Chains A and B, each alone.
Chain A
Amino acid sequence: MIALRQASPRRLHAAGPSSHTLRVGLALLCGLCPAMAQDDAVALRGATVHPVAGPPIEGGVVIFAGGKIQAIGDGQTPLPAGATVIDCEGAVITPGLVDAATALGVSSRDANEQGDEVTPHLHIVDVIDPAAPAFRRARRAGVTTAQVSPGNRNAVGGLGAVVKTRGDTVADMLVRDETCLRVTLGSEPSAGNRPIRFGTPATIYYRRPNTRMGVVWAIRKAFYDAMAYRDRKTVPEEGEPAASDAGMEVLLQALERKLQVRTTARAEQDIRTALRLAAEFGYETVVEEATEAWRVADDLAAAQARVVFAAPSADSSTDGAKPRWHSLNALAAADVPFAIATGSNKAALDLIHEVTFAVRNGLDRDAALASVTLEPARILGVAERVGSLEAGKDADLVVWSGDPFDPSSRPTRVYIDGKEVQ
C-alpha cells in the first residue's frame, strides 16, 4: 500500500493489512495443524468448479477453512476429518465476483466534493457506509469484492478503494485502500459549472471547466502543478521547500507510476484523450466505462491500456457515447485486457446479468467469467487475494444453482472469507 496520507495521524484503516496478515497467518496455522483446521473447515462437494485460474472441474471439491481456500480438486480429493461437508450436486461454483467500478455504500452527495474541481487527496473509504442496503444486494447477487470510487463530478476526484461487500466497519471490509486515482473526462465534471460573464461570482459554480476541453485543461493543469510542486519540493529556488500538500503528493504518486489512474471516458474522443494524457504524463491508466471502446479497440491495444467496461446491457447513449452490443467482442479480438463492471449507469443490472448479456452477444464464456473475477482482481491489484479459486486465496465463492450465464440460475450460497452471507 502506498502511504498517501503522510500528513495524517494513524488511520483506523491502517489496521487493514495487519488484520489481513493475521488472517493469512491463521490460515497457515490451520493448514499446519489439522486438528484446528477441522473446527471451521467446510467442503463443498459435487459441483462443477470453475477456478478461473485453471480448467473447470466436473464433480469437484472446494475445501476452505480460516477464511482461506485450502484445496481445490476433483472428486477424489480427501476431505479433512471433521469438516462440514455440503453436497452441491448439480451446482456450479465460481469465485466470488469482483465488480471493478461501483458506488456501493456511498451517496452521490457524500462522494462528490464540489468545493473544488481537483481533489486528488480525498478518500472514498471515509464515507463508505457498511450497512448500506446496496452492499447486501450486491453480495446476494454474488459480488463479493467491489471497487468503490469517488463520484465523477470532479475532473480529478480522489482515491478509490477495494472492499469486500460484507463487514461491520469499513476496516473489516477493506481489501486495499488507495487503489486508483479517479479522473473523469467528458461533460460530467463541468456539469453545473457556469462561466463568469458579469460581476462577482456568487457561487462556487462560477468556475472552470465549463466544457469538455476545459475538463482536460483542469486535469492537465493538476499534473503540471504537481510537477512544479515536485520541483519546488526537491530543489527550492530560494528559502524553504514547498509545504507538503496532500493533493500534490497523490498526483506525484501517479506521475511516478506508483498509483493507477482510473480515467472515466465514454465517447471515442474521451477515450483517445485518456490515452493521450497517459502518454503525455507517463502515468498508468485504466479506462473506465469505455462505451465507445469498439471504435478504438486497436488504439487501446497499442497503448497497452486496460479497460473496465461498464454495463454492456445499457442501450442508451450517455454523454454522446453510442453503445454497441459487440463492444466487448471488439476488445477481446484486439486482445485488450478488460473487466466488466456495473459502473455509474443507474440502469445497470446485477453484475452477473451484465456478463450474461455479453455472453449472449458473442463473448467467449471463459473470457466472460474471467472478466468479472480474475481480470478485475488484477486490474485492482488484489489478485493475490481474490479473483480465482486457488489454495491460499480468500474463500470468496459463489455456488450457483446452475450455469451462472443462464438467466434462470441464481446464487444459492455466497461465501465471503469462508463465511456464508445473508
Chain B
Amino acid sequence: MTGPFPKDAVNRNAAMTTRAFLAALLAAPAALLAQPSGDLLVRADRLVISPGNELTERAAILVRDGKVAFLGPEIPAPAAAAAREMRFEGTIAPGFVDPHAHLGIAKDLAEAIDAVTPDLSAADALDPFDDALGRAARYGVCTLALAPRSANAFAGRAAMVRAGVTGTLLMEDAYLKLALVDESLDQNRFPTSRMGAVDLMRLSFARARDAANDDRASQAIRRTLDGGRLAFHTRRHAGITSALDLCDELGVQPLLIGADEAARSTARLVRTRGSVVLAPLNLDSPLRHLRLPATLEAAGVPFSFMTEAPPRDATAATGRAEATNSTAHPEALRVSAALAVRHGASRTTALAAITRVPAEQCGAADRCGSLLQGRDASFVVVGGDPLDLGAPLLAVFVAGKRVDLEDRGDDR
C-alpha cells in the first residue's frame, strides 16, 4: 500500500488487519482441510489464457500460492503429480474484472460537499465483508475497481479489490475519477454547469502542476498526472468532447466511463489511444447502445463493461441525483458481453471487455484479466464458451480458492 498520507494508511491498515484477522480465523480451518498439498491443478477442455490466446489441448492450470504457476503443456510432471487435481468439462477463462463498481456501499462513496476531492480514496470505504463482494465472486467477477460515485468534479481514487466472501484490497490507485455528469452538477454548490466544471478541472490541474502548491488535492492530482490514470465519467457527446479536450491538454490517455455516445468520437479516441468503460447492456437497451461495442471494435477503440448502470434520469424525476444504493448485479458483465456478441462484436473482443481490457484500464493487468504465469489464479470454469449464456458457470476460483456458488441467502 503506497498511500500518500502515511498516517491514514496506518490507521486503515490497523482496521483492515483486525477484520482480515477475523476473516482468517473463520477461513483458516477450511483452507487447511481443503488444500493439504498446497498446489491445485485444474484441467478442462479449453483454457483461455487471455482473450485470443487459448489452449484447446492439455488445457490445465497449476495454482500455487494463489497465483498461476504453470499453464497447459508446460506443467512439470512432478508438480502436477503432487497437486490436488480437479477436472471440468468446459472452458477455463480469466475471472471477470469490473472496472467501476460501488458494491453495496454506494452511499458511502458520494462525498458531495466539496467539488474537488481527488485525495479521497474509495479504499477507505471498503467493507471486506460486503455481501456484494461475495455475490460478485459467485458470478465470476473476481476483481473489481471500487470507485467513488460521481458526486464531484474530482470524485476521488478507485481501488482494486479482490472479490469473495472476504474482500481484499489489491491496490489503491486504480484511477482518479472525474465526473462530468448531472449527478456531479446537482450538488447545490459550484459548479452546477459543465462550463464551470471544466473550468474548475482545468484550474485544479494547473494548480497541481505548480509544485509550489502542496495541498492534499494538488498532491493527489500531481501524482495521477505523473503516470497515473484519469477516468472521466461522462455520458453525452458534449461531455465526452470536453473530457477529450482536457486529456489532450494534459497529454494523458483518455479513459471514459459510461460514455454512451462514444460512437461519435471514435476517431479522436483512436488517435489518443483512449478507451471506454461502457454501462451494462440489458434487454431493454436501445439499439444504439447494443451496437456500440461492435462500432468501437470496428474503429479499434478498446472498451470494457462495468456493472454499475448510470442512475438513468434520476435528476429528471427527483430534481437531483440521490445517493441511492447500487443497482448493479455482477451477472451484468457476462450478459452485456453476450449481448455485444449478439449485436456484432467478436467473441474475443467481448471477452476482453470483461477481462483483459478492464484490468488494463485500472492498471492492474499484472494482477488480473489474464491467466499468464504469475497472475492471480482468479478464473472461471464455464461449461461451454463463456459468452454463451447457455453455458453454465461450473466453478469460480479467486486467487486459487474455489468459490461456493450456492446462494446462501446472505445477499439480500
Listed in ascending order, the chain A residues whose CB lies under 8 Å from chain B are 5, 7-12, 106-107, 109-116, 119, 121-124, 126-127, 129-132, 150, 158, 169-170, 203-204, 246
Contacts and interface: CB of A to CB of B under 8 A. Distances in A.
Contact of A126 (B192, B207, B242): B242
B288 interface: no
Interface stretch (B51-59, B140-148, B195-203, B278-286): B195-203
Contacts of B237: 129, 131
Contacts of A9: 202, 205-206, 209, 249-250
A9 B199 CA distance: 12
Contacts of A246: 199, 203
B12 interface: no
Given A8-B206, A204-B190, 6 more contacts: A9-B209, A111-B195, A113-B196, A126-B198, A127-B194, A132-B238
A143 to B, nearest CB: 20
B165 to A, nearest CB: 42
B326 interface: no
B241 interface: yes
27 contacts: A9-B205, A11-B202, A11-B249, A12-B245, A107-B238, A109-B193, A109-B194, A110-B195, A113-B196, A114-B193, A115-B190, A121-B199, A122-B193, A122-B199, A124-B195, A126-B194, A126-B195, A126-B198, A126-B202, A127-B193, A127-B242, A129-B241, A131-B237, A169-B245, A169-B268, A204-B190, A204-B192
Nearest to A111: B195
Interface of B: 185, 188-196, 198-199, 202-203, 205-207, 209, 237-238, 241-242, 245, 248-250, 264, 268
B195 A12 contact: no
Given A12-B248, A131-B264, A126 B189 contact: no
A107 to B, nearest CB: 7
B191 A115 contact: yes
Contacts, number: 91
Contacts of A119: 196
Contact of B195 (A10, A11, A127): A127
A314 to B, nearest CB: 26
A338 B328 CA distance: 57
A158 to B, nearest CB: 7
A170 B245 contact: yes
Contacts of B199: 121-123, 126, 246
A127 B192 contact: no
Contact of A150 (B189, B195, B202, B245): B195
Contact of B241 (A8, A114, A130, A203): A130
B192 A115 contact: yes
Given A7-B203, A9-B209, A127-B238, A122 B250 contact: no
B260 to A, nearest CB: 14
A14 to B, nearest CB: 9
A344 to B, nearest CB: 16
Contacts of B250: 9
A129 B249 contact: no
A131 B240 CA distance: 12
A106 B195 CA distance: 10
A7 B205 contact: no
Contacts of B264: 131
Contacts of A109: 185, 193-194
B249 A112 contact: no
Given A8-B206, A9-B205, A11-B249, A170 B190 contact: no
A204 B189 contact: yes
